[in-house]
Amino acid sequence: MKKNNKESIEQYVYEEIKTAIFNRKIPVKMQLSEEQLAEAFAVSRTPIRSVLKKLQYEKLIHIHPNKGAFINLPSSKEIEEVRRVDYPVTGNEN
């Protein structure tokens, strides 16, 4: 993969991992290994670390020290908040 600068590499990796999480291409509770992600994207671990920190800030993953990063399961409260945003007027869930 060739990108012009560090930011575009990080943005590309970020978008790809985030899309994979949302599309359930990465199973919930699966460990996200820095080494495996770096190898898969043909980048160093530095942009991977930055991306994982950003995803943790967004609460999509949780980083456990000395264990790795894992995809978060949304809480029932978070699911309900999304439902309210999706159906704010009618409450229709069809």
At residue 27, the pLDDT reads 83
The CATH class of the 6-86 domain is: mainly alpha
48/91: higher pLDDT: 48
Average pLDDT, whole number, for the chain?
A: 81
Per the listing, tokens 């699911």 go with 79
CB 26 within 8 A of CB 71: yes
67-78 per-position pLDDT tens digit: 889 998 776 776
CA of residue 57 relative to chain centroid, distance: 10
pLDDT at res. 92: 56
Segments in 1-94 forming alpha helices (H): 6-22, 34-41, 45-57, 76-86
Q: Where are the domains of the chain?
A: 6-86
pLDDT confidence tier of residue 63, bands split at 50, 70 and 90: very high
pLDDT of residue 4: 57
